């Protein structure tokens, strides 16, 4: 058996018996035995399921101490316990057990017992139970993933699934598919999927993931770097979770390191993806960027996009200082930052950041839509630090519809339009103790807050609050409502219009106000 870094996991692929050949049969057998995401959670119960998610193998072992087939399957496939070969045959059948051994999915140790050498675990992806084939990580076993490690379902991939639309489209490109997680999220949406990766091991495991989903005929897996496998092709939707780790121009781990300097991987994907979109098509990417010198992160990422032909929504979800960023990623690869190796690598990485004036590293989503080639690009880059519970995919699609509507307006047209306050928008009137007079309260903030989707908050004044309260899709237009309020309060109407319209545009852009033309499209009850 060939291993990586003397680990029992990550065996070399057997070209005579690919993992994909056994994937479909294994998926059916596991599903029939209740080895699904819901089945495992129901079997373990809430306490031990939480322990599973926290990476506590002893608790999971206690929760599966029985003698049922599902107990055995969880210990074999999730905890990677070494068991007698006869037990594997008992729970899966002798024929399937033999296939697992032939393909290297199951390996025999020096004591003659067998263990599963890959991570083969069910996940609920876009409402469907899916089996994902990947390499074993260090969440439940004492194991250091090697440089050829193929990721399974992690927090980053879940975040991208969460932010990617699932509406029907003709074609999808999954750029850098890895183990195939993102393409699983598009199986019920796309007529045709192309998935690429530069890493042959990843493609082998992605084939198994696709086979387990009975989707082999619908997914075209291609080998190659970046966009080379799809040169000259365009798609309706592109998803990408590239190796976006910001660091030195070298490849330590193929799943995270691009070999490009600093945020070069994110820049490459963002700058080239539009060339591969059909008109109206969208791209949904995870990306990272440096905070560097006097340049704002918004300016940096926006500079990667063309001046014409795109609408883009760039969302920064988190920012880490260089020291925290380095220690987080070294810990991710099971390197003790206190060890000699950890100290040396930390020093080199941090020195590289220092030499390049990097003060922080941002992480988030980039959504891009291809619009008319001659249209000025419409780019919004903003922070979204608030927790988001609802899926962002529908919100992204609605955002592009809202900004398209705004782009289509001619000067003076917005005043003639009718809008509706989004259901669930809350008005918050916040007052704090009046310290000046020593009693009572004084207003500290007046804001409108969405209670759905991204929970945007907009601080407003009492005048805009009154105008918004008067907007009605069947009533007065925006301009008429402002005019009525101006007359009632004795204000100059033209000046009030000039002051109110930019704020109303921002409220529309974030979906707190919905144009009547978009009510049917908006994700409201």
Same domain, 454 and 377: no
Same domain, 369 and 424: no
Residues 351, 364: Cα–Cα separation, whole Å: 24
Q: Which domain holds residue 284?
A: 155-393
Query: Which pLDDT belongs to residue 145?
Result: 81
- How does pLDDT run across 370-397, given as a tens digit for each residue? 999 999 999 999 999 888 888 899 999 9
11 found inside a domain: no
172 found inside a domain: yes
Judged against a pLDDT cut of 60, whether residue 121 lies above it is answered with yes
Query: Which pLDDT belongs to residue 142?
Result: 84
**Which of 358, 393, 428 lies at the terminal end of a domain, its last residue?**
393
Query: Which pLDDT belongs to residue 257?
Result: 66
Judged against a pLDDT cut of 80, whether residue 10 lies above it is answered with no
Judged against a pLDDT cut of 50, whether residue 108 lies above it is answered with yes
Rounded to 10 degrees, what is the CA torsion of 27, 28, 30, 33? 170
Q: DSSP string spanning 197-235? A: ES-HHHHHHHHHHHHHTT-TTTEEEEE-STTGGGTT--E
In Å, the largest CA–CA distance within the chain is 90
Q: What is the pTM of this model?
A: 0.91
Which among 181, 20, 34 is positioned nearest to 104, based on CA atoms?
20
- How does pLDDT run across 407-418, given as a tens digit for each residue? 999 999 999 999
Total number of domains constituting the chain: 3
Same domain, 72 and 197: no
Sign (positive/negative) of CA torsion 20, 21, 24, 25? Answer: negative
Q: Any idea which of 1-15, 151-165, 205-219 has the lowest mean pLDDT?
A: 1-15
Q: Any idea which of 184-188, 430-434, 520-524 has the lowest mean pLDDT?
A: 520-524
211 found inside a domain: yes
143 found inside a domain: no
Compute the average pLDDT of residues 78-87: 95
pLDDT above 70 covers a percentage of the chain that reads 97
Same domain, 384 and 475: no
**Which of 393, 422, 443 lies at the terminal end of a domain, its last residue?**
393
Describe the chain by its helix, strand, coil percentages, rounded to 5.
Answer: 40, 25, 40
Q: Any idea which of 4-13, 80-89, 108-117, 468-477 has the lowest mean pLDDT?
A: 4-13
189 found inside a domain: yes
Query: Which pLDDT belongs to residue 253?
Result: 65
Residue 270 DSSP SS3: helix
81 found inside a domain: yes
Query: Which pLDDT belongs to residue 2?
Result: 36
Residue 463 DSSP SS3: helix
Residues 89, 357: Cα–Cα separation, whole Å: 58
**Which of 134, 164, 181 lies at the terminal end of a domain, its last residue?**
134
Same domain, 169 and 222: yes
C-alpha 518: how far from its chain's center?
26
What is the residue whose two structure tokens read 């519809």? 401
Query: Which pLDDT belongs to residue 162?
Result: 94
User: Given pLDDT bands bounded at 50, 70 and 90, which one contains residue 252?
Assistant: low
Residue predicted with more confidence, 11 or 301 = 301
Query: Which pLDDT belongs to residue 365?
Result: 96
- How does pLDDT run across 438-465, given as a tens digit for each residue? 888 888 889 999 999 999 999 999 999 9
Query: Which pLDDT belongs to residue 444?
Result: 85
Same domain, 130 and 180: no
Same domain, 45 and 189: no
- How does pLDDT run across 287-310, given as a tens digit for each residue? 999 999 888 999 999 999 999 999
User: Given pLDDT bands bounded at 50, 70 and 90, which one contains residue 243?
Assistant: confident
Same domain, 109 and 203: no
- Axis-axis angle for helices 200-212, 19-32 (nearest 10): 40
Same domain, 235 and 340: yes
Give the pairing of strands 426-433 and 441-449.
antiparallel
Compute the average pLDDT of residues 468-483: 94
Query: Which pLDDT belongs to residue 250?
Result: 76
239: domain CATH number is 3.40.50.150
Residue predicted with more confidence, 30 or 260 = 30
Same domain, 192 and 306: yes
408 found inside a domain: no
Judged against a pLDDT cut of 60, whether residue 5 lies above it is answered with no
406 found inside a domain: no
458: domain CATH number is 3.90.930
Same domain, 367 and 459: no
Judged against a pLDDT cut of 70, whether residue 150 lies above it is answered with yes
Same domain, 116 and 229: no
């Amino acid at each position: 058996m060939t291993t990586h870094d003397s680990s029992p996991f990550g065996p070399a692929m057997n070209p005579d018996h690919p993992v994909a050949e056994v994937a479909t049969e294994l998926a059916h057998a596991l599903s029939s035995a209740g080895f699904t995401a819901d089945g495992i959670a129901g079997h373990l119960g809430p306490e031990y399921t939480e322990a599973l998610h926290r990476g506590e193998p002893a608790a999971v072992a206690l929760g599966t101490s029985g003698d049922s087939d599902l107990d055995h399957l969880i210990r074999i496939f999730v905890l990677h316990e070494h068991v007698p070969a006869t037990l594997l045959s008992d729970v899966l059948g002798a024929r399937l057990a033999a296939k697992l051994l032939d393909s290297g999915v199951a390996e025999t140790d020096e004591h003659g017992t067998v263990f599963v050498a890959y991570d083969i675990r069910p996940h609920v992806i876009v409402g469907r139970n899916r089996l994902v084939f990947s390499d074993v990580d260090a969440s439940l076993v004492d194991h250091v993933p090697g440089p050829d490690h193929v990721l399974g379902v992690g927090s980053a991939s879940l975040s991208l699934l969460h932010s990617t639309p699932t509406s029907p489209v003709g074609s999808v490109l999954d750029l850098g598919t890895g183990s195939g997680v993102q393409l699983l999220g598009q199986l019920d949406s796309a007529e045709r999927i192309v998935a690429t990766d530069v890493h042959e091991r990843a493609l082998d495991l992605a084939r198994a993931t696709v086979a387990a989903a009975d989707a082999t005929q619908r997914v075209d897996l291609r080998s190659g770097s970046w966009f080379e496998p799809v040169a000259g092709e365009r798609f309706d939707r592109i998803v990408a979770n590239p190796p976006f780790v910001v660091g030195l121009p070298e490849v330590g781990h193929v799943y995270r390191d691009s070999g490009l300097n600093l945020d070069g991987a994110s820049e490459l994907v963002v700058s080239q993806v539009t060339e591969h979109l059909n008109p109206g098509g969208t791209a949904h990417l995870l990306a990272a960027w440096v905070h560097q010198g006097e340049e704002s992160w918004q300016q940096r990422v926006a500079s990667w996009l063309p001046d014409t032909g795109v609408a883009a929504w760039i969302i920064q979800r988190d920012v880490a200082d260089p020291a925290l960023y380095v220690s987080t990623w070294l810990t991710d690869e099971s390197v003790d930052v206190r060890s000699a190796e950890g100290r040396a690598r930390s020093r080199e990485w941090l020195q590289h950041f220092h030499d390049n004036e990097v003060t922080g590293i941002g992480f988030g989503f980039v959504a891009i839509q291809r619009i008319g080639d001659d249209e000025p690009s419409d780019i919004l880059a903003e922070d979204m630090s608030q927790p988001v519970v609802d899926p962002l995919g529908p919100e992204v699609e609605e955002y592009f519809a809202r900004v398209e509507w705004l782009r289509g307006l001619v000067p003076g047209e917005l005043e003639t339009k009718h809008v509706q306050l989004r259901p669930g928008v809350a008005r918050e009137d916040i007052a704090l103790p009046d310290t000046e007079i020593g009693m009572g309260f004084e207003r500290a903030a007046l804001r409108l807050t969405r209670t759905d989707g991204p929970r945007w908050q907009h601080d407003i004044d009492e005048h805009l609050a009154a105008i918004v309260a008067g907007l009605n899709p069947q009533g007065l237009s925006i301009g008429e409502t402002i005019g009525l309020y101006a007359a009632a309060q004795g204000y100059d109407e033209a000046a009030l219009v000039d002051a109110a319209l930019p704020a109303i545009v921002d409220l529309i852009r974030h979906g707190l106000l919905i144009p009547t033309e978009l009510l049917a499209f908006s994700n409201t009850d």
